[in-house]
Structure 1
Amino acid sequence: MIRPPPDHPTLLAARDAFKRGDMRAVLTQARLATRTMPVSSEAWWLLGTAANAESDVVTAAHAFEQAALHAQPGSPAKSQMFVLRGPPLMGDGRMAEAVETTRSGVRLGLGDPASLVKASYTLTNAGLPQEALPLAQKAAELNPRHAEAWYSLGSVQRTLGDIEAAETAFKTSITLTKSPISAYFNLAYLKRWTPDNNHIAELEALSCQSSLEACRVAYALFKEYNDTGQFDAALDCLQLGASLARKLETWTSEEEAAMVCAWKEHLPAQRFTTRDDRPRSGPKRIFIIGLPRSGTTLIERVLAAHSQVQAIGELKAFGVATRKLCDLATPARLDPEVIAAAVKLDPRDIAELYTRETAYLHDGSSAYVIDKLPNNHEYAGLIRLAFPDALIIGLDRNPMDALFGSYKLLFTGAYGWSYTLDDLADHYGHFRDLMTYWKQVLGDGLIDVSLEAVIQDPETEIRRLLDACGLPFEEACLRPHEAKGAVSTASAVQVRKPINAEGVGAWKRYANHLEPLRQRLGAMGYLPLNKESS
């Protein structure tokens, strides 16, 4: 009988550090352990877990891959390691690979709620909530007292539009956890609450352990106070939440201005005077861009109702593909160095990598697919070069409504300009500057859509949009609320209703507080200076 070698001291040290919760020590010792015991699944698991905790997603993804490779065949650990690899792959922008490894784990069989929840999380965030739903359901069935299972189930059901079921799931999660803040936050944004049916008292009684938790509670209270007509209290909570959120963000107006200047410098008009007719693989692309809360989700649903069109979500794939091909050790954000390198790439290489990374989302039957990431406006010119036949649709909305729509939401880790009135104005100026430039160089290749015009005369504007896209008119496009498919954005509940004017002028409830923003936009030339004309 061959005996396995005794555990190496580095593995014992890694285990001990893990028990203490000292992840940096785990990282150091587990690295050593994987060198001395390269076939130890446990050593690789410890390395992956510690790297994940330290936000080193590249190391974590590799470590969990090795842990799966060396895990005993047929053991629960093998499937679990595949699933653990999913989130760090997503963090590294390797979404297709994250889906593949998660599916591998599911095929091998998952029998514990924690792994089922992890798999559900990855598939939901990869735009596959229908695949995620049975996994979250199974997790809750296996352990009805597993709070995270119910939270995961609620998140999937919300994305799929099953609001009543999602409410039940979030409330169940709240009763089972010592940390209910995330569930309360999602519950607040699930539907419109009333004076007789809300969670204000429960939210006010919560204790927060971090600035992020305090942000979530403040924004949830804003939402429910606003729903119930208590606007003074709502504003107090919004200001508190925004001030806390801004401290967590690194966005600066100067960096965004530099990004806009870099595009103008490195992608001049003459780059668009000739067309690259080399074929691209995959379906015809539709990119919907604009400010968040400007109607991008509504237009996505309008087009997704068409028989020839499939919506595949808000994808970061174009930016990720561009940065990967640039191969620069720069931050994830788009900066002048990335732009200078990106414009030297072969645009078709970007297109092909983008297509490979998103192929898992395409059902194969639709001639057109929609990528609706609002801030792809930063890449519009490069998108045109990568996909010469792509349809690029730019949304326009009254800036006060659009900016207030962003200001009143907590975008964790995104849209860092949305938490102060000055930042909102600065960003809008940069946004309009860049969009004006893209319009100059793309001309009719950028299709303009006004949200207010669509609301006022849906049929006329939808017919115009379909014609601009080369699509025949279909009655279903007038009923976007009936379109099938998931919605994972902040508009997930709102777009389940028929086209309406509910959000028009919503900022006026807080007009006094927002007056400095209105004044700045007026001085910048984007609004009439006359208050009554805004």
Structure 2
Amino acid sequence: MQNSHQKITDLINQGKPAVALKKLKSLVRKMPANAELERLQGVVHIQLNHMALAEKHLLKARRLAPGNAAVWINLGSLYKLNKQFAQAESCLQEALNISPNHVSAWFNLANVYRESEQWDQAASAYQQVIDRQPNHLNALYSLGVMSKNLGHIEQSIDYLHRALNIDPFHQQSYLALANLKKYQFSANEAGMISQIIDQHQDSEVIELLFAQAQNLEHQRRYEEAFAMLQRANQAKYQSLNRVPFDWPGYTQQVISTFSTPSAHAQDTTRPATEPNPLFVVSLPRSGSTLIEQILASHSRVFGASELTTFPDLIKRLEQQHQTDYPAVWKQCSADDMNKVAMAYQQKINAYGLEHAYVTDKSLINFNYVGSILEVLPKSKIIHCVRHPMDVCLSCYKQLFASGQEYSYDLTELAAYHRHHEQIMAHWKKLYPSQILTVRYEEVVADTRKQIEILLSYLGLDWEDACLQFHQTERMIKTASATQVKQKINREGVQRYKKYGKSMKELEKLLNYA
């Protein structure tokens, strides 16, 4: 059994769950009530994304061996993947009751806290990991990223340096340091990055290619930096096996579906005791994080960052009606729409009924403005815009944590930019008084005036804290985390000009030349 167990574990670790499952089924026929075999089947089904089967086997393993910490940890991992955070936390706490010093249980619990946005608990749990295993690479890296997102830059650098001392080849730590924007690699670090890149295929070092591009920009070697960006983006785009999306076709579908204003968009009958939804919509890298940070500094605004709530509700409708958005919206009943409204309002109410507004800056919500104003008519929409060349270059420079797959190809990036412009122009034509446009360059040029315009639009009194937004303590999960924890500067305005002739292709694609 021990030899078979090791072979199955090796197959799981090698990412061969189907082969592992076949061997497991053979063993189960001989030992039908073996807790470890049930646990391993659960782990395999998680890898295969068979979540219901995984839960079935893990629950059986728990019945057979309730004192096995590994079973509780696996159950916690399953519930975390399903975003059932309360159940995940409960399982992992039980694992720690059984084995208080179990490093994997502490690390998984920290990840649950982090994903459920319980930041203090996450930091404490990661520290528990490091107290027990000082060289735990992933805990140090995670604390480095969390510190960056809180604006604690020196602390972030310390954690990431500690991670690199353990593993000088850890690509994610180099990229996290590069994403601090003003961080400059030491000669040793830059040499190590170059050495690793030279010894690997581009597809194997995508994080380092993006980090190296940032490093070259710091050295004002803009032509070399852009060449490195081209390598990085090409490798990333190829890794996605992506077929360019038909953005012009999608634009026309949305416009034709929402051809007239909603009759409900001016309805203000919802309870005044509930916070109003405040959607901050934009392309990535357009200043939306800055605007949210300014607004979240106001005592009556809660900044919830990029919620997946509305897109998830749209997906639920798509599955229910077996029709994609935007066409699905025409198939929705009044009851469907009321459920969407209630679910979204319930989500933002959870942040506190004392707030006048809760912000949501999910990057794809601009596609749903017509739907939003129909079901949530008290919503406010702030549209952040930035110079087309600057915003597209900034997207091209960024390796996103997830999504934004269009951004890794200049042609598709330009097509997406046109889609965004046309969709927002359409919404503004339908709802001219309900969408406020904020230009990044104007915020930089006269911050106070633009804040006054924002607060007037929202019916909020002036608060000095909005002008001192960089002092506001809150977790920011986007790529702009470090910039918005500093005073405003003009470094991001017309940055594309520094890249000179390298911008010719992008200028042509955007019809800007």
TM-score range, shorter chain: 0.7 to 0.9
1:310 deviates by 1.0
Which amino acid counterpart does residue 444 of structure 1 have in structure 2?
A: S
Paired with 1:308 and 1:184, the residues of 2 have a C-alpha distance of: 38
Corresponding residue pairs, total: 503
Match of 2:302 among 301, 306, 310: 310
- Which amino acid in structure 1 is aligned with residue 278 of structure 2? I
Confirm whether residue 339 of structure 1 aligns to residue 326 of structure 2: yes
Q: In the TM superposition, what is the alpha-carbon distance from 1:174 to its structure 2 partner?
A: 1.9
* Partner of residue 156 from structure 1, selected from 134, 146, 167: 146
Structure 2 CA distance for partners of 1:68 and 1:123, relative to 1, 3 Å: farther
The within-5 A match list for 1:81-480 is 81-89=74-82, 95=83, 97=84, 99-108=85-94, 109=96, 111-177=101-167, 180-194=170-184, 199-206=189-196, 212-249=203-240, 253-272=244-263, 275=266, 279=270, 283-327=275-319, 337-345=324-332, 346-356=336-346, 362-363=351-352, 365-480=354-469
Write the distance in 2 (CA, Å) between the matches of 1:427 and 1:189. Answer: 24
State the alpha-carbon separation in 1 of the partners of residues 118 and 203 from structure 2: 27
Structure 2: distance between partners of 1:381 and 1:36: 59
Q: Give the residue type in structure 2 aligned to 1:296.
A: S
Alpha-carbon distance, 1:382 to partner: 1.3
Counterpart Cα distance in 2 of 1:314 and 1:174: 30
Give the conservation status (yes or no) of the 8 Å contact 2:303–2:360.
yes
Q: Is the 8 A contact 1:318 1:354 kept in 2?
A: yes
| CA drift at 1:511 | 2.6
Q: Distance in 2 between matches of 1:294 and 1:341?
A: 29
- Verify the 8 A CA contact 2:247 2:419 in the aligned structure 1: yes
CA distance in 1, matches of 2:107, 2:158: 17
Tell me if the contact between 1:286 and 1:371 (Cα under 8 Å) persists in the aligned partners: yes
Q: What TM-score do the two structures reach when normalised by structure 1?
A: 0.84
Give the superposition deviation at 1:278.
Answer: 6.2
**8 Å CA contact 1:61, 1:88 repeated in 2:** no
Cα deviation code 1:312-346 (max 9, x no counterpart) = 1212221112212332598xxxxx72322244332
Q: Which amino acid aligns with 2:44?
A: A
Kindly state the Cα deviation for residue 198 of structure 1 after the two structures are TM-superposed. Answer: 7.1
Hey, what's the Cα distance between the residues in 2 that align with 1:37 and 1:343? Answer: 54
Q: Deviations over 1:483-521 (max 9, x none)?
A: 120111111111111122110011111131112222332
Deviations for 1:272-330, whole angstroms, at most 9, x for unmatched residues? 46655664795321111101110000000000000011111212221112212332598
Q: CA deviation at 1:114?
A: 2.5
Q: Counterparts of 1:103 and 1:366 in 2: how far apart (Å)? A: 28
Which residue in 2 is equivalent to 1:77?
A: 70
Q: Where does residue 498 of structure 2 map in the other structure?
A: 509
SS in 2 for 1:205: helix
Counterpart of 1:84 in 2: which secondary structure? Answer: helix
- Report the more deviating stretch, 302-311 or 99-108: 99-108
Contact 1:82/1:104 (CA < 8 Å) preserved in 2? no
Query: Are the equivalent residues in 1 in contact too, given 2:381–2:436 (CA < 8 A)?
Result: yes
Local SS of the residue matching 1:50: helix
Contact 2:137 2:166 in 1 (8 A): yes
- Which of the residues 469, 478, 489 maps onto 1:500? 489
Unaligned runs of 5+ in 2: none
Q: Percent identity?
A: 24
Q: Distance in 2 between matches of 1:364 and 1:142?
A: 40
1 CA distance for matches of 2:385 and 2:121?
34
1:47 is the counterpart of 2:47:
no
Alpha-carbon separation, structure 1, partners of 2:349 and 2:74:
24
Cα RMSD of the aligned pairs, angstroms, is 3.3
Letter in 1 for 2:206: C
1:335-376 C-alpha deviation (Å, 9 max, x unpaired)? x7232224433222113233455666x155433211112221
Q: CA deviation at 1:42?
A: 3.8
What amino acid is aligned across from residue 248 of structure 1 in structure 2?
S
For the residue of structure 2 that corresponds to 1:417, the secondary structure is helix
Does the 8 Å contact 2:281/2:384 carry over to 1? Answer: yes
8 Å contact 1:286–1:390 — kept in the other structure? yes
- Equivalent residue for 1:24? 18
1:82 CA displacement: 4.1
CA contact (8 A) 1:252 1:417 kept: no
- Contact 2:264/2:373, CA 8 A, preserved across alignment: no
8 A contact 1:64–1:85 mirrored in 2: no
Aligned-residue offset at 1:221: 0.4
Contact 2:216 2:222 in 1 (8 A): yes
- Letter in structure 1 aligned against 2:74: M
TM-score relative to the length of structure 2: 0.87
CA contact under 8 A between 2:289 and 2:480: conserved in structure 1?
yes
User: Residues of 2 paired with 1:83 and 1:481: CA distance?
Assistant: 36
Does the 8 Å CA contact 2:44/2:54 hold for their aligned counterparts?
Answer: no
**For residues 82 and 503 of structure 1, what CA distance do their matches in structure 2 show?**
46
Q: Would you say the 8 A contact 2:292–2:303 is kept in 1?
A: yes
